[in-house]
Amino acid sequence: MGAARRARGPIGWRRAVGATPPEHVGSRARETEREAIMKKPQTAVRSHHRKQGSHQEGKKKCVLSSSRVKPSTPNDLARQQKDVVLQAFSPYHLFRDTAEVTVFREKLLSWYDREKRDLPWRRRAEGEVDLDRRAYAVWVSEVMLQQTQVATVIDYYTRWMQKWPTLQDLARASLEEVNQLWAGLGYYSRARRLQGGARKVVEELGGHVPRTAETLQQLLPGVGRYTAGAIASIAFGQAAGVVDGNVVRVLCRVRAIGADPSSTLVSQHLWSLAQQLVDPARPGDSNQAAMELGATVCTPQHPRCSQCPVQSLCRAHWRVEREQHLALQNLPGSPDVEECAPSTGQCQLCAPPMEPWDQTLGVTNFPRKASRRPPREECSAVCVLEQPRARGGPRILLVQRPSSGLLAGLWEFPCVTAEPSGPCERQALLGELQRWAGPLPATHLQHLGQVVHTFSHIKLTYQVYSLALDGHTPVTATPPGARWLTREEFHTAAVSTAMKKVFRVYEGQQPGTRKGSKRSPVSTPSSRKRPGPGQQVLDNFFRPHLPTDAPHLNSTAQ
């Protein structure tokens, strides 16, 4: 932490009187001129702006600069953009020069070549010669990986590519098939947009995926800036940087960015850094390496800094070392020459002053934890309606959700919105059931318990009911938007995870099932210990009499 550390500090010059680093000598005159303009009264500044801009074709606004001086040449424009950046934050949060960027790239890619995980979408992309097929393989994986863990995606991706190995195959599939395979993966609108994009490529773009990040984002539904950059860099070799949650964490720690990463200013800076760091020779590997580093080493809670290939370039790690050094010497914490200088004004990339450094967190002080609004709470009543005597075996009723909104197009048990502990809950639910299945006996509606399922923005509590059509004429006519399925068909249908939870509660209440088990197989005679003669007599005495035509409920869950 001595002279050697201070010598390489990018902004030590701000603390040393009269010290000017070589890279800033040429900009001293420009900074003096800019400071003089900023000291003028506002009216004078506005007058100066009008004079500067009177012979320009358009106005170029800059939200970060209070001077708003208009450049007249390309060189002046580039120079002012650099000055604007320095007004928003100091060079401490930048990479010092191209040499430092080159070292970062080399260290990261060398580590990635040794440590990268063997994932099915990487194997498929690396081994695919056809560019459109390669882009499709990357596209599917990136959509699935949005807000979903890699371990969960692997099986879904494998089944998806086996069923629809090309864009043409996916374009011909029905939405029902797509939802069915996607069921349980969450965020179902991703699947609809992915298929919509495949159809657009096949029907409107001649079967060819757009080749650049700009055209991918412009032409394909559901493809945003990140997905476009990932496809363009991995499949087509375009030097386009990407920023996902893992990259945000890596960049915020490497450059000690403590401000809210979801803010517009910080987000723009992170994208600028990502673009600067992507290796033009290996853009796809470069982006995947940054994401891999965040996923496996630079993790949210327990980062493995000792195994980080870019630890020597990490400002968060430098800060930890400095704080530990001060603590060992029993010295009060004080700003170091390598820190962002607060004397120039509050840096918009630093943590707010009311959020001081937490020694116990170490590098996990970065990035700043975004404040999340808690999900709103809602309540619904849902009923598993079953026909025990249906032809071909017991069947349960499912109805289809609307084609837009939450869980659009998926199938669910009849359900109504309800107030918590509302007195009209049973009546409303019975009315919904009768809408699909005709007149039903209210006395048979039984409350089984509740299920809580949290979506991204909703915490939904389901009050679970059941109703069996025992002793009544089985329903034969089924209105549009409803269908009767066997239990085996239910487990392969396009139903949400919440409905699978509801069904497990129902199964746990049925005869011959084990309550609380995810899978509730019926125990068979061969698997049960045969009771002795005395126990058989007692069992027969206390066993209730059942009619010979009583329905047998098959409760085996596949």
The set of catalytic residues is 142
Structure tokens at 447: 């409350």
495: which DSSP letter?
B
Whether a cis peptide bond, with omega within 30° of 0, leads into 367 is yes
**Which residue in this structure is represented by tokens 């560019």?**
131
CB atoms within 10 A of CB 184: 13
- Residues 6 or more apart from 461 whose CB is under 8 A from it? 377, 378, 379, 380, 420, 450, 451, 452
3-class secondary structure per residue, 75-88: HHHHHHHHHHHHHH
418: which DSSP letter?
-
Structure tokens at 536: 């058989």
Strand bridging mode 458-468 / 376-387: parallel
Where is 285: in which H helix or E strand?
helix 283-296
End-to-end CA distance of the chain: 62
CB atoms within 10 A of CB 478: 13
CA 478 to centroid of chain Cα atoms? 39
288, 117 Cβ separation under 8 angstroms: no
Find the angle CA(158)-CA(176)-CA(434) to the nearest 5 degrees. 135
Where is 369: in which H helix or E strand?
none
Let me know how many helices (H) and strands (E) the chain has, helices first.
21, 7
CB atoms within 10 A of CB 457: 11
Find the angle CA(57)-CA(265)-CA(150) to the nearest 5 degrees. 125
412, 397 Cβ separation under 8 angstroms: no
